[in-house]
Amino acid sequence: MRKVFLRSVLFFFVAYVLLYLLFSFSGAKQTIANTYKGMANTFVLPVLPGAYLLFEQNPGLPDDPNQIQVRLESQAKVDRQMQAAREQGLKTIELKFETYHIFLFEFFTFPLLFFTAMLVATPVKWKRKLQAFFIGLALLLVFMFFKTYFITLYHLQRNQIAEYQSSDFWEGMVEKIQLGFNNITTALITATLIWALTVFQKSDWKKQMDQFNTVSTQKKAPEKSK
């Protein structure tokens, strides 16, 4: 049992390092960035209909795909400015937006690599690992969606975008939720929980409990004989 555990730990570290090196290449980073921007612009915008949102690569750091800039403003305000520009016959208009930034490695890549490395190191059949990977990836994307939603909602409220101003209580709740989402510990815990839920079956948990009960019984037996 101890050898299996130590081998799994070794496999985990090797897998994580290899995955980290793989995702250090600019092509892999750009793929992650494009996927995230596309999903955020597709799925987050509809649930925040009063806001103008644009997820884009940070213009100030064009060579770093990990840096995502989010522009946000009231959609009604943007529409008024564009309508005024058309009435004045202006061909171009400079719109001012509030912005915040996302560091994509901590935001999504790290939990994905951590989850995948744990999956590789788990001593189960590869068919089960593959099934767990796709289910886990879907759950990580759902986690990323809620994280993006609450962090964006927090910035909309903080910048007093009219459509999203609310009571102090609700704004305080949103701030606490986004702080909970927006840290590396939450990402680590989430990846671990998803791994445990996807890779192990009910029979595995029962087997582990039986082994634990057997060990506990063996430890208590000498104490009774004394």
Within 8 A by CB and 6+ apart from 49, the residues are: 75
Residue 128, number of CB atoms within 10 A of its CB:
16
Q: Is the pLDDT of residue 157 over 90?
A: no
The answer to whether residue 147 sits within a structural domain is: yes
The predicted model scores a pTM of 0.80
User: Percentage of the chain with pLDDT > 70?
Assistant: 88
The answer to whether residue 211 sits within a structural domain is: no
The answer to whether residue 146 sits within a structural domain is: yes
Residue written as token pair 């962090």: 151
- How far is CA 77 from each of CA 44, 72, 81, 97, rounded to the nearest angstrom? 19, 11, 6, 10
**Domains contained in the chain, number:** 1
- How far is CA 47 from each of CA 44, 135, 148, 157, 208, rounded to the nearest angstrom? 6, 24, 11, 15, 42
In this prediction, residues 4-19 reach a mean pLDDT of: 91
* Domain boundaries, position 156: 2-48+105-201
d(CA 143, CA 166): 25
Q: Is the pLDDT of residue 191 over 80?
A: yes
Low-confidence winner among 2-6, 71-75, 124-128 (lowest mean pLDDT):
2-6
Q: What is the tens place of the pLDDT at every residue in 92-148?
A: 777 788 888 999 998 999 999 999 999 999 988 999 999 999 999 999 999 999 999
The answer to whether residue 152 sits within a structural domain is: yes
The answer to whether residue 168 sits within a structural domain is: yes
Give the start-end residues of each E strand in 21-137: 51-57, 67-74, 98-103
pLDDT for the residue 167: 74
The answer to whether residue 15 sits within a structural domain is: yes
In this prediction, residues 153-173 reach a mean pLDDT of: 80
The answer to whether residue 61 sits within a structural domain is: no
Residue 101 phi/psi, 5-degree rounding, is -125, 150
Low-confidence winner among 26-30, 42-46, 77-81 (lowest mean pLDDT):
77-81
The answer to whether residue 53 sits within a structural domain is: no
